[in-house]
Amino acid sequence: MNRDLVQKLIERGAIKARTEIEAHYRGVDLSGAPMARVRGNFIILAARAIGDQIIFDGFSTEDGRKQRILSEDIINIDGMDIERFASIYGLSLSGEVLRQGKRRGRKPKALLEKLAAEAAANQNQDQPMEKAA
């Protein structure tokens, strides 16, 4: 994951303590021999910058063992791809701010009341006057 993207996600509070990540790390097998690359789930405890790298301290959700994870080794954040997670916060994979499109979903209650009042006023104007008998 790009360093600029990680920094912006940390600044916006998207990545903080107790965030769950899936990442590659250097593990050991049952005999204690080091393995090249293992994939696992971790809960972040802290993050720090050392030189050009951002390192996360976390513990495994499987066995509770502490690990240091480089930001480049992160695969998913809270169960989402990095690209999807970043787009929720309006960021690209390079850490640049994306232009937000039209928001969809439920409208605020105040706006709905205003639209209903306008529709009622328009409906009253459109009705023809009744003839007097």
Pairwise pLDDT comparison (130 vs 37), residue with the higher score = 37
What letter represents residue 54's amino acid?
A: I
The pLDDT of residue 107 is above 80: no
The pLDDT of residue 126 is above 90: no
Q: What is the mean pLDDT of residues 90-99?
A: 89
Domain positions in the chain:
3-88
Can you tell me the distance from the alpha carbon of 89 to that of 80, in angstroms, rounded to the nearest whole number?
13
> How deeply is 89 buried, as exposed, middle or buried, from its count of CB atoms within 10 A (0-12, 13-18, 19+)?
middle
127 band by pLDDT with thresholds 50, 70 and 90: low
Question: What's the token pair of residue 7?
Answer: 């920094």
Cβ pair 27, 40 in contact under 8 A: yes
Under CATH, which number does the domain 3-88 receive? Answer: 2.30.30
φ/ψ of 31, rounded to 5, equals -85, -5
Cβ pair 51, 80 in contact under 8 A: no
Question: What's the token pair of residue 3?
Answer: 């360093």
Q: What 3-state class would DSSP assign to 7?
A: helix
70 band by pLDDT with thresholds 50, 70 and 90: very high
Res 13: pLDDT: 93
The pLDDT of residue 53 is above 70: yes
Can you tell me the distance from the alpha carbon of 131 to that of 117, in angstroms, rounded to the nearest whole number?
27
